[in-house]
Amino acid sequence: MAAVETGAPRGHQKAAKKKPKRIGIKIDMTPMVDIAFLLLIFFMVTTVFRAPQTIEINIPPSKTKVEIAESNVLTLRMLEDGRMYWSIGKATPQLIEMAGIQKLLIEKNKLNERLVTLVKIDRKSPYSQMVDILDEMYLGNIQRFSVTVLEDKEKREVFGS
């Protein structure tokens, strides 16, 4: 048997005050559930899903070798410090800003329809720089291009660094 100690001696217990009965409150949750489902349906119907923005790059098989005349190759060299140079064939590379690349590519492709753009990127260049140049080529509607790594040997030969 369980008992509760009240602190008063056994024979002299006072009558405990009765607590007033609590009024039971009942909330009907049905309207809130209805509203939640209506909001869910509203957001599902009005949401617009966008396709991911990607650039499709087709890579040829590794054993394929394509011969191209040097006069048909525009080379963009991207250094790790953000500088970019361009040249056609064996010409001396010229400095160019990112803002002028799209205009240059469009202009040179109009002059030579067989032009292939070769992008050489330093291994230490930020990834965003490569994405920016690919975006510029996409906006300039450049279909024929290749992306490769700018080797240290070429940097020393061309830029003397």
Contacting residues for 60 by C-beta, under 8 A, at least 6 apart: 66
Q: Domain for residue 76, yes or no?
A: yes
pLDDT given for residue 42 in this prediction: 94
User: How many domains is the chain built from?
Assistant: 1
pLDDT tens-digit readout, 13-50: 566 678 888 888 888 888 899 999 999 999 999 988 77
The answer to whether the CB of 85 falls within 8 A of the CB of 121 is no
d(CA 76, CA 15): 97
Q: Domain for residue 103, yes or no?
A: yes
E-assigned strand segments in the chain = 73-78, 84-88, 94-96, 116-121, 145-149
pLDDT given for residue 38 in this prediction: 95
CATH code (residue 80): 3.30.420.270
pTM value is 0.58
Q: Is the pLDDT of residue 59 over 70?
A: no
pLDDT tens-digit readout, 89-118: 888 888 888 888 889 888 988 888 888 888
Instruction: Compare 85 and 68 and report the one with higher pLDDT.
Output: 85
d(CA 144, CA 141): 9
d(CA 121, CA 101): 15
